[in-house]
Structure 1
Amino acid sequence: MSALHLIRHGTIAELRLDNPSKLNAFTTEMLRSLETHCAELDRDDTVSAVVITAEESRAFCAGADIKAWAELEPWEFARYWVREGHRVFDRLARLSKPTIAALNGHAFGGGLEFAATADIRTMAPEATLALPEAGVGIVPGWSGTQRLVRLLGEPLVKEMALLGRRINAERAYAAGFVAEISDDPRTAALAIAEGLSDKSKRSIEAAKYMIHAAVGEDRDATIETLAAGMVAPTTDRDEGVSAFREKRKPNFPGR
């Protein structure tokens, strides 16, 4: 059984890490479950927001389980572990629903990259952020040097990735990475999610796509998705489909 669960609270969905004995570190099974849950959530129009949480431990997520990748051949590590994990995290970042991550503890390595996929973050005052990969002879592999740089900025990410420094909640808040510091980040995240429940789902989805396009997140798909949304309700589209089915030349009305 995977240690990543999808739990529903009415219109709010919760993605919960549940691997506390390993500080909620990611395993292969957890990555597969995350991909499955993302596909399900994208197609569920009853969901207004997704809250990302973790079972109580000293860490929100300590990153990737070293046992899951340490014995892999170099080509397997690069092609499967890094590339597939990157793809799954991209899937979560580009979810059509707004996402709020509740950092109840430390977020290191892949755990920080996981938190970076969310649209909004809350954080416990004692939690810290770190990219410790250089200490075990690897580099960030799930967008720690890409998406995280866009969110935190080059200097701060270099402090973590090159110098091994931890960033506390106050600095994360000052950098805009965290929306709220709370003694109960999960409750704070759920409150944010509740505040989204009476907003237009389509407006929020379109706004998320446009903002992502502005920073280069899935820009190509965003442009084509929004353009498709413009032409889908037109009479021209209806005429084109009818003409195709009736095997005749279309007569587009231009509206």
Structure 2
Amino acid sequence: MSERVTISVENHIADVRFNRPEKMNALDAEQMDGIVEAGEKLAAMDGIRAIVLSGEGKAFCAGLDMGSFAASAAAATKAANDGDKTPLSHTLAERTFGNANKFQHIVLLWRRLKAPVIAAIHGPCVGGGLQFASAADIRVVAPDAKMSIMEMRWGLIPDMGSFTTWRSFVRDDILRELTYTNRIFTGEEGKELGFVTHLSDDPHARAMEIATEIAGKHPQAVQAAKKLINQLPDMNEDEILMMESVEQDKVSRTPNQVEAVMAFMQKRAPNFSD
């Protein structure tokens, strides 16, 4: 397991932390590989009911490591000067992870995890950092956090899959303005704009509280609900109604569902199995 991302598990909650504090958890190749490795490890783990994602040090994630980016750009320029005419867009258009490329997969694998992901955000959360945060089910953010769709500063567009997540919680004109201008906004403004679920002076502690509440629910029902919500933007009414019925059939009248009812009636904590 890469030291760039740490995972600790207690009471069915995975506490996941970007661990490059000296660079404000900025994204270079090794950092991105560590994030993929962590996500794929979580996907294979049993008994995980909620995930809290945060950053060590002074930032959640300060986006692209510009030193790494500059080196890559210099290498690409040299290759072009040496006669390699392969366009970058052709490389990115290759689907190497299902319907996504590697950079989209890095972010969207967090959206696709069965357990809900809660991002606890402080300090800078810009560029790729905001795209990771946007893949979470819930975002708990410090009021003074600095957020931005930063890519336009470098003459780029966001390309890590986040347009598929932003469409579900950011108004169209707001998304356009923030993408075109790359302006920085605070966590407090982010709440008004749709990027923030909750504001907290201690985002990690609040995220763990929410994770604990989720971890106390029927785990298969939570997973079914997440699966349904994830697919809402792509389904018509008939498909939504059918999926509700199919997923409900899977979780109702199971031992865990009976336990949920009995625990409520008996005023005790439920004892679910994974």
TM-score range (shorter-chain normalised) is: 0.7 to 0.9
Q: Which runs of 5+ in 1 are unaligned?
A: 232-255
Report how far residue 83 of structure 1 moved: 3.0
**Alpha-carbon deviations, 1:121-160, whole Å to 9, x = none?**
1000101210122221222111343422332222222222
Output the CA distance in 1 between the equivalents of 2:246 and 2:175.
Answer: 35
Output the CA distance in 1 between the equivalents of 2:161 and 2:168.
Answer: 10
Q: Which residue type is aligned with residue 200 of structure 1?
A: H
From 195, 202, 208, the counterpart of 1:177 = 195
User: Residue in 1 aligned with 2:120?
Assistant: 102
Any residues of structure 2 matched to 1:59-208 within 5 Å, and which?
A: 59-70=59-70, 71-72=72-73, 73=76, 75=88, 78-79=91-92, 83-208=101-226
| TM-score, with length taken from structure 2 | 0.73
Which stretch of structure 1 is more off in the superposition, 128-137 or 95-104? 128-137
Which stretch of structure 1 is more off in the superposition, 176-185 or 91-100? 176-185
Output the CA distance in 1 between the equivalents of 2:14 and 2:90.
Answer: 32
Relative to 1, partners in 2 of residues 1:227 and 1:35: Cα closer, same or farther, differing over 3 Å?
farther
Relative to 1, partners in 2 of residues 1:198 and 1:23: Cα closer, same or farther, differing over 3 Å?
same
Percent of residue pairs identical: 28
Any residues of structure 2 matched to 1:227-242 within 5 Å, and which?
A: none
Output the CA distance in 2 between the equivalents of 1:12 and 1:35.
Answer: 19
Give the CA RMSD over aligned residues: 3.0
Provide the secondary structure at the position in 1 that maps to 2:101: helix
Report how far residue 178 of structure 1 moved: 1.8
User: Residue in 2 aligned with 1:19?
Assistant: 20
Report how far residue 230 of structure 1 moved: 6.3
Alpha carbons 2:22, 2:57 under 8 Å: kept: no
Relative to 1, partners in 2 of residues 1:178 and 1:228: Cα closer, same or farther, differing over 3 Å?
closer
Output the CA distance in 2 between the equivalents of 1:123 and 1:189.
Answer: 9
Alpha carbons 1:107, 1:130 under 8 Å: kept: yes
Alpha carbons 1:11, 1:48 under 8 Å: kept: yes
Q: Aligned residues, how many?
A: 228
Output the CA distance in 2 between the equivalents of 1:61 and 1:77.
Answer: 28
Q: Which residue type is aligned with residue 68 of structure 2?
A: A
Output the CA distance in 2 between the equivalents of 1:97 and 1:206.
Answer: 10
Relative to 1, partners in 2 of residues 1:162 and 1:202: Cα closer, same or farther, differing over 3 Å?
same
Report how far residue 89 of structure 1 moved: 1.1
Provide the secondary structure at the position in 1 that maps to 2:52: strand
Q: Which runs of 5+ in 2 are unaligned?
A: 77-86, 95-99, 251-274
Alpha carbons 2:122, 2:145 under 8 Å: kept: yes
Output the CA distance in 2 between the equivalents of 1:161 and 1:89.
Answer: 18
Relative to 1, partners in 2 of residues 1:120 and 1:30: Cα closer, same or farther, differing over 3 Å?
same
| TM-score, with length taken from structure 1 | 0.78
Alpha carbons 2:224, 2:247 under 8 Å: kept: no
Provide the secondary structure at the position in 2 that maps to 1:215: helix
Report how far residue 229 of structure 1 moved: 9.8
Output the CA distance in 1 between the equivalents of 2:123 and 2:20.
Answer: 13
Report how far residue 181 of structure 1 moved: 0.7
